[in-house]
Structure 1
Amino acid sequence: MFKSKDAVSTETAKKTKSTDQGSLMMALLPSVILYVAAVVLIALTRDDAAGTIPYWETFVPVVAFISLLSGFGQAYVRDQSYLFYTLKQVLHWGIVIGLLWLLHTNGVRAALDDQKYLLVLLYLLGLATLLAGLHMDWKFIFFGAFLAFCTYILAAPENVAILAPIGETFGIANAQDKPMAMMIGTAVAAFLASTLVLIGMRGAILSKRVSTARA
């Protein structure tokens, strides 16, 4: 039996819907939120490190939530169970948040001054984000590297010396005198790199969905 035009149109519409991923701008929104929030917090930290500690502590579960949501596409491409993926994310970030809780309850936080505790918090967040990127969502590798780089710059005034060779490489004069501008530039570069990964992942998802729809 031949299919009617209406049946063909309905089937085509269903296949089109099954491969639809939404707009790229909406897919980029979580990354935009992460990078903008991180740059704002870093700028505030340079002026008042102690005052930003509560904001950074609040930022940790925000990063965890976005990490959980943004990695489902990669889990789909890998044929990984969504339940297993969710458990991995919950365990990963649960350990990070639990460690911060232990720092407070076991007296470690009280033994550290605000500057040292903030550096521990930022390095821990950067490392956790890097590991989440390696194991669950490659986009987060760049965000984690960005956080680690900025934390190193914030750790001590003499660390800005690392900006000089970077500035020479990219033709930026007196880069060591422009730490905030260099950190913003690093954020832009990391965001663009993560965007390329996202575009590649969307292509892989679309290819897999098309193959599934044809099967």
Structure 2
Amino acid sequence: MSDDKPLIDDKSFTVKVPNRAVELLKEFKTEEIIFFMIILLSVIGVGITDYAPMESWAYWMFMVTALAASAVVIEKTLLHRKDVSFTKLWVTQLLHWGATLIVIILSFAFVKTGRMTYEGSGLVILLILSLSTFLDGFHVGWRFYLAGIFLAITSILAAFVEEYMWILLVIAIASIVFSTYLEKYLTAKENEIQES
């Protein structure tokens, strides 16, 4: 058995991958990882809001910043496909997420003045984030549409279902699986179009 040679010699084995494929793979990984993180951070935020609503405001402020940074990173990777300067992209995202942040701050002002409860404010913030994320999908891509829908479903579940965390986890996993398969499908379609 010691005379057996491996089928593949690591030193001589090379795979040539077209530059376009490497480029698509890098974009896929960046966008997909960011999408996974958005879903994960959303689930964590719902848990924080559910168990410590008075402390959740800081987390949602962080979440707005994380979503804004995610949008800029994704758009920057796609910049070569668009005829837009990075400055315009940055200003667009700054206005979009800056307005979102202001509305979230106002919702906490309603809590402080007694017009709204912490729990109610958490649901409103989820709806604000879902709308902002969904609308930013126009600029960033379909994953932000999907993340916005996920956040909207999350707020509905939190409002109407007593034990919703398990349902939320199932929906989060389903969203990630759906996103992965949709990406593979869209990539295959794009490759078909380029080949023909």
Q: TM-score normalized by structure 1? A: 0.65
1:128-207, aligned counterparts within 5 Å? 128-155=132-159, 159-160=160-161, 179-196=164-181, 198-199=183-184
Asked if the contact 2:68–2:97 (Cα under 8 Å) also holds between the matched residues in 1, the reply is: yes
1:174 aligned residue: none
Distance 1:87 1:202, change over 3 A: farther
For residue 120 of structure 1, report the CA deviation from its aligned partner.
1.8
Distance 1:103 1:182, change over 3 A: closer
Deviations 1:117-176 (A, max 9, x none): 212211111110010113432210111111111111112xxx23xxxxxxxxxxxxxxxx
2:54 aligned residue: 50
1:38 aligned residue: 42
Asked if the contact 1:67–1:137 (Cα under 8 Å) also holds between the matched residues in 2, the reply is: no
Distance 2:33 2:76 in 1: 15
1:4 aligned residue: none
Asked if the contact 2:135–2:145 (Cα under 8 Å) also holds between the matched residues in 1, the reply is: yes
Distance 1:84 1:40 in 2: 32
For residue 27 of structure 1, report the CA deviation from its aligned partner.
4.5
Structure 2 residue 111 is matched with structure 1 residue 126: no
2:63 aligned residue: 59
For residue 25 of structure 1, report the CA deviation from its aligned partner.
4.2
Structure 2, gaps ≥5 residues long: 1-15
Say what the alpha-carbon RMSD is for the aligned residues: 3.3
Q: Which of 57, 81, 88 is 1:84 aligned to?
A: 88
Asked if the contact 1:41–1:52 (Cα under 8 Å) also holds between the matched residues in 2, the reply is: yes
Deviations 1:8-62 (A, max 9, x none): xxxxx9x955763254545422222221222222233333333333212221111
Give the 4+ runs in structure 1 shifted more than 4 A.
15-19, 22-27, 196-207
2:99 aligned residue: 95
Instruction: Please tell me the residue identity of whatever aligns with 1:94.
Output: G
Instruction: Please tell me the residue identity of whatever aligns with 2:172.
Output: A
For residue 204 of structure 1, report the CA deviation from its aligned partner.
8.7
Asked if the contact 1:133–1:140 (Cα under 8 Å) also holds between the matched residues in 2, the reply is: yes
Q: TM-score normalized by structure 2? A: 0.71
Distance 1:142 1:26 in 2: 16
For residue 97 of structure 1, report the CA deviation from its aligned partner.
1.4
Asked if the contact 2:79–2:86 (Cα under 8 Å) also holds between the matched residues in 1, the reply is: yes
Distance 2:54 2:180 in 1: 33
Distance 1:203 1:89 in 2: 30
Percent identical: 21
Asked if the contact 2:130–2:148 (Cα under 8 Å) also holds between the matched residues in 1, the reply is: yes
Structure 1, gaps ≥5 residues long: 1-12, 161-176
* Larger relative contact order (CA 8 Å, sep ≥ 6): 1
